[in-house]
Amino acid sequence: MRIRLFKEFIIEKLIFLSGIASILFVILIFVFLLKEGLSFFKEINLFKFISGKHWYPISEPEQFGILPMILGSLLVTLGAIIFAVPLSIGAAFYISEVAPGKIKDILKAGIEMLAAIPSVVLGFIGMITLVPLVKNVLHLPTGLTAFSGSIMLGLMSMPTIISISEDAINAVPKSYKEGALALGATRWQAMYRVTIYAALPGIIAASMLGIGRVIGETMAVMMITGNAAVIPHTFFQPVRTLTATIAAEMGETVYGSMHYYSLFAIGIILFIITFIINITADMVLHRKHK
């Protein structure tokens, strides 16, 4: 009995320490970004940095405007959400509620394999297949557009959304479905009027995790969106994201220069955007629970 209690005590403390460590790591990352990025804001006004339309960090005079990258990131993310979330929720319902046992196992294995493919490989596949297809089908000057990036990032986020949404659907008590069927609802009515509402917090959490994957993605979006720092007006033109800017330029900057510190400032903005998304998701989830 004492040994069992001691093991439980050790496990509880390890779980507690893991949670504290996760929070501490996030705080340290943010402090590191602030340490490097605040040096930039001593010289450049924050509002001009965010609202500036031109990004010429090595010109004379230097111009640090990240509005094109912010809009590019939001545009690609919005397109990926529109593409991935409905398909992912539909796929999760099919796997959980409709698919026979053997097909369900095959689909689950396929989704897990898709999640294991490195993003740079998906970006390369997108360059070879998706980009020429978009160019030829839509008759565009180039297939390296926000639309191409949205599709590819949507595909990359789908395994995460599908897996977590399926777990949320499977967690709905069977009594809910049985009660709906007993009241005269059809199988489909029970799914979209009862099951989806009961699983909605989990589905929202899955969608938020998928959005976080899209916003934080670097290599694939840098390879297939054209990497052009211009303000986008449609989905069908090249864009550049915040993450792609950091990845593309960090290796070329002079340590201690304004260009160097500007990339850390972009990291701070990206961190804040991600934090806002997570807070919004948490508020939505708590509202649903109430």
State the Cα–Cα distance between residues 177 and 189, nearest whole angstrom.
10
Q: What is the pLDDT of residue 286?
A: 64
Q: What is the pLDDT of residue 32?
A: 84
pLDDT along the chain (290 residues), means of 10: 78 88 86 83 85 84 87 89 89 84 83 82 87 89 88 88 87 83 81 83 83 80 85 87 86 82 88 80 62
Tokens of 264: 């850390």
Q: Where are the domains of the chain?
A: 2-42, 63-289
| pTM given for the model | 0.82
Sign of CA dihedral 153, 156, 160, 166: positive
Q: What is the pLDDT of residue 285?
A: 64
Tokens of 156: 């990359």
Amino acid at position 11, single letter: I
Q: What is the pLDDT of residue 104?
A: 84
Q: What is the pLDDT of residue 243?
A: 87
Please say whether the beta carbons of 127 and 142 come within 8 A: no
- 63-289: CATH number: 1.10.3720.10
State the Cα–Cα distance between residues 181 and 245, nearest whole angstrom.
53
Q: What is the pLDDT of residue 290?
A: 53
